[in-house]
Every structure is written in structure tokens, then in C-alpha cells.
Amino acid sequence: MKARSDQGQKGKTLPSGEAVPGEQPLENEQHERFVQELLMHRPQVRAYLKAYPDSSYEAARANSCRLIADNGVKERFAFLKTEQRSRLRMDSDEIHIRLVMAAIVDPADLFDSKGNLLPIQDLPPEVRACIESVETTKGGGKKVTFISKGNALQMLGRHQKMFTDKVEHTVKVTLEELVGGEG
């Protein structure tokens, strides 16, 4: 597979000096679209139909099997899937930070000094991260729902092992069993 020269960016290289397999976009734009659709967890036939919209279902079924077996497509998909996983992985610290943000988010950060709702792109990123949904009401207003502060606090407490459930066990042992070592 050839590396595209029009990318204008330096690619990663292996210790041998070769480019990382699958790093460069596929030269065939429809093949690249097919891979991008697969990354969105689409079944391969649907991914093929997105890349080749004029194709019949039967042709898409046959050709998607052929395309998925192509080495260039396999390498590109594997590379992008690995990158996607690394971007989406959250460690314990990141989860802790998100829970703290949800627990302390201030709804006043949604409004300007005159009480008007700010456009979503003008909200601080930590406030946007705590929004569960935004709906437009019948009157044209906006309804913003935050992640539950109560749930966030409860999960934070559990994460920090602040809450312990006490479990009592009752065992009936006679004095003879205790002295005799049977209990």
C-alpha cells in the first residue's frame, strides 16, 4: 500500500524505518468510507452500502466480504480501531474527575449576566461534560438536564470507599463445640 504524499503530515514509522501499516488513509475514497462506517459499528453490508450507495443489497453482501478480506482495508481498520480504543479508554483518575465535575457543576454557569441561556458552544467544557440532554420545549425554550448529582456523589463515595455495609453473622456454637474445636 502506498503512503499518500498529499497528507502534509509526518507519519509514524516502525524501528525498521517503514510506515506503520494502516496509518495513511486508503487511496480509494470509497474503501476509506467503508472502513470509517465499520468503525461506527455498522454491519459490513450496511457499511458497504454507505460507501457504494448505488449498489444492490446482493452485490453489497458479496462485495463487502471481498473488501473486508483486502489486506489494505484490514490494516487500515486495525490501525483506526486501535487509535479509537486508546482515545475512548478512561482510567480511574479520569472517571473520578468526571464524577467530581458532575457532583459540583453549577447551573449558574449556563447563563450570562442577564440570565439568558448561553449557546452550548460558549459553555465551559466541564459544564458541557455534565449535561445529560438538551431539549427544545413547545414554546421554543430549552430544557437542560444534568447528570444526577446524587448519583455522582454516591458513586464518588463508593469509589473512595467511604460507605461500608455492615454485615452481621450469627453463629450458634455450644461451649462443648467451642472447647472441643468443632466450631
User: What band does 40 get if pLDDT is binned at 50, 70 and 90?
Assistant: confident
Rounded to two decimals, what is the model's pTM? Answer: 0.44
Give strand pairing partners of 134: 144
Interval 65-76 mean pLDDT: 94
pLDDT above 70 coverage of the chain, percent: 89
Distances (CA, A) of 55 to 33, 61, 63: 14, 10, 10
Spatial contact of 112 and 119, defined as CB atoms under 8 Å apart? no
Nearest residue to 129 (alpha-carbon basis) of 100, 93, 88: 100
Q: CB atoms < 10 A from the CB of 69, how many?
A: 9
Report the b/e string of 2-35 with b at 16+ CB within 10 A.
eeeeeeeeeeeeeeeeeeeebbbbbeeeebbbbb
Q: Model confidence at 9, in pLDDT bands (50, 70, 90)?
A: very low
Q: What mean pLDDT comes out for the span 97-105?
A: 87
Model pLDDT, residue 17: 63
Residue carrying C-alpha cell 430544557: 143
Query: What whole-number distance in Å separates Cα of residue 47 and Cα of residue 40?
Result: 9
